[in-house]
Amino acid sequence: MENSSVSGKHLALILVSASLAVFMSSLDGTIVNIALPVISDYFDLSTSSVEWVSTIYLLVMAGALLIIGKITDIIGLKKIFITGFVLFTFGSFACGFFPEQLNSFGALLASRVLQGLGGAMMTVIAPAMISKYMSGAKRAKGMTVVTIFAGIGMALGPTLGGYLTEYLSWNWIFFINVPVGIIAVILGFIVLPKDKSEKSSMKGFDVSGAALIFIGLAGILFGVSEGNTQGWTSVPVIVSLILGIVCVVGFIIRELKAKQPVLDLRLFKNKTFLILNIIFIIMFFTFAGANYLLPFYLQYVQGLSTSSSGLILTVMSFGMMIAGVISGFIYAKLIGKIKYIIMVGAILMALGFFFLSKLSPVSGIWVVVSGLALLGFGIGLMLTPLSTLMMGSVPANKQGMVSSLTGLERFGPMTLGIAFFNILFVEAIKFNVKHSGITEKPPADIAAVILSHGFDFCFLIACIVAVAMIVLSIFIKEREIQVEQ
């Protein structure tokens, strides 16, 4: 259906549908972390084990995004939208119901896989809907609305998750998705235009490349996450890492030869495009560490309730929203100097991590709030210029691929970031107190003073990595962006 065939209230309802999709996927990305300490206690798990509640969701999202982006072009937006919400809604119900009934942490992880598949479809579909059914100024306004809803989802997640966990139970952080999902499915059936029946087939789809990158990412992630628990020389970890590396190398070779690759690696010949992608990856990699570790610090070191911890974590999300609006407003006025917006954002992130690296059991909450505010403002300033410049660095016929790539570079680094910072956290504590076997104990059993050493070291490393973004931003050349338009 062309842009001109939808308008008025119908167009507004399509925008509502797209906003619901991005809102729910963003909400679920932040609502779960605040409940991880409670889930850890309920199933008597270590930090290395309970992190898989977040990791497996992000892993499935990261692995499926490029695949779903390609499939969407073949079977149509409406089918993907409805299928995505059905999977996400059923997966949410399963997450809240089956693990407790079966007394099985594995049931929770399996249900999160369904959620992740649905979430990936919802993430891909929102910008695709805006792009297809809106044009010109309407498209820009539509993307702004979608971005705001994504920010609201991220902002509400910690607070809503905290209150649901404290006053109901951790199950309700999943049940809350069910009524919204049902409404979205009904809305999708009624509002979204019927997909055109085109003679497209899966023949042009690079199945081998998709399988290689999914297996490769899963293998590396499993090896990195479980290495500290099972031992870096254990057979499962070694096999997983070797399999992952071999598959990623195979993916690179495959994509360079494929006629219709899942990801055209030749895009990275553009140096500015490459730099922008590296900064984008680092930004979400470090963000994942803060988002994962801080709930444990606030509850186990500061002794705050789940709801209070969620309220404090909301500071970062609101900082992102406010800075995002500012960034969008000044973007057009700084054409030719946009890299300085990115540079300022990276500086703020580095300062935020520096504040958080000074945490202790007696630190005032203002230290945490200041660090979170700086992180939020930094990320918010960087998101719009990074995304816009990345899309502008490639030819028009590659922008759909890059749209999926940005989704992959959001969830992939977040997946690896959780595993990486968890390893840093455990190793820092073991180094300081020489306490072997810490990974087998629930985090609530570890003394607050000991925990602080791990948190401080993790955020110090994140600060150093953020400095790398500042250096990289110096080499951004906007002149290269317009060449390939």
d(CA 384, CA 331): 8
Return the structure tokens found at 84: 């995505």
Three-class SS of residue 263? coil
23: CB partners within 8 A, 6+ apart: 149, 150, 152, 153
What pLDDT does residue 436 have?
47
d(CA 319, CA 151): 9
Angle at CA 285, nearest 5°, toward 282 and 290?
Answer: 125
What is the secondary structure of 390-448 as a DSSP string? HHHTS-GGGHHHHHHHHHHHHHHHHHHHHHHHHHHHHHHHHHHH--TTGGGS-GGGS-H
In tens digits, the chain (485 residues) has pLDDT values of 444 455 666 777 888 888 888 888 778 777 887 788 888 888 888 776 787 887 788 778 777 877 787 777 777 778 888 888 899 999 999 999 998 888 888 899 999 999 989 988 887 777 777 767 766 446 656 666 776 777 777 767 777 888 888 888 888 999 988 998 898 888 888 888 776 655 455 566 678 888 888 888 778 877 876 776 677 788 888 998 999 999 999 999 988 887 777 778 888 888 888 999 999 999 989 988 887 888 888 887 877 877 787 788 878 878 887 887 787 777 767 777 888 999 999 999 999 999 888 877 667 788 888 999 999 899 888 887 887 777 667 665 566 677 777 777 877 787 778 778 888 888 888 777 665 455 555 555 556 677 777 888 889 999 999 999 999 999 888 775 653 43
Q: Name all contacts of 100-107 with Cβ < 8 Å and 24+ positions apart.
A: 100/171, 105/43, 105/45, 105/49
pLDDT digits (tens, 9 = 90+) for 262-316: 778 888 888 888 999 999 999 989 988 887 888 888 887 877 877 787 788 878 8
d(CA 370, CA 350): 12
